[in-house]
Amino acid sequence: MTATESIHIKWDSSLYDNKHDFVFKYGEDLINLLQPKKDEHVLDLGCGTGYLSGVIAESGAVVSGIDSSADMILKAKETYPGINFSVQSATEFVSANSFDAIFSNAVLHWIKEKEQVIDCMFRNLKENGRLVLEMGGKRNVEGIIIALKETLLKYGFNKQAATEQWYFPSLSEYTGLLEQRGFRVTYAAHFNRETALNNTEHGIKDWIKMFGTTYLQDIGTVTLENVLTEVENKLRVTHFRDNKWFADYKRLRVVAVKNV
């Protein structure tokens, strides 16, 4: 799930697999939209440790996976030796053959160079090839971000600009961009999906530590713990129930076809 051109986060593949596996577990549902077929060539863009590439390959499709994180790709190769994984950038990847389909789950919101990614996906698809994607949509994780920023400000850290680390477009903005750049959009939805986090006691803290690193730079360890505890207390009313923490995800799902 990682392909970071704009920001460079060092992903810990074990932490990702053990504590944040909900990212790719929810992605399994997206494979229903892809409907991979035997012998089709499918690219999993931002494949992370390869879990969804493995599920797609069960259909008999010939799967390739790319990710910008060498650590993730190493783990993917170890786990799925039959799949062709490589470290490549989402804005510049090249493949010897074009793909019947490109699949991308929870990755594109990490890449600020949105036009370049779209153009690159378009170039690497066959005529009538399809793009099936899910990413964070407008107002994704807004509750967490607001609580975190407010608390940081109280401690003297103004991190207003840090949200810019992600690209969470509205449905019309993203489908418009795809259309401008040559795709025909056949399906699009922007919906709430509250996402249960793995750690029942400190799920929100774990989430912020894993994904919110640009907010947490330059903050001492003691302050960090205090900030995270305050955020946790603030969010308990809205983001904790049935003994579980939830992230307020808003997903954008799109299917588009390359018709030239």
Which residues would be at the binding site for ligand BEZ (CB under 6 A)?
A: 106, 109, 136, 140-141, 166, 211, 249
Our CB check for ligand BEZ shows the closer of 161 and 222 to be 161
CA-closest candidate to residue 134, choices 108, 112, 101, 110: 108
The residue whose Cβ lies closest to ligand BEZ is 136
Q: Least Å distance between CB 26 and ligand BEZ?
A: 9
**CA distance linking residue 198 with residue 19, whole number of Å:** 6
Q: Least Å distance between CB 175 and ligand BEZ?
A: 18
- With both helix axes pointing from N to C terminus, report the angle between 221-239 and 142-154 in degrees, rounded to the nearest 10: 140
DSSP per-residue letters across 94-122 = --SS-EEEEEEES-GGG-S-HHHHHHHHH
Our CB check for ligand BEZ shows the closer of 124 and 140 to be 140
Q: Least Å distance between CB 181 and ligand BEZ?
A: 23
Our CB check for ligand BEZ shows the closer of 141 and 231 to be 141
Our CB check for ligand BEZ shows the closer of 129 and 203 to be 203
Place of tokens 């795709």: 183
CA distances from 220 to 49, 95, 147, 217 (A): 31, 44, 19, 9
Q: Least Å distance between CB 256 and ligand BEZ?
A: 19
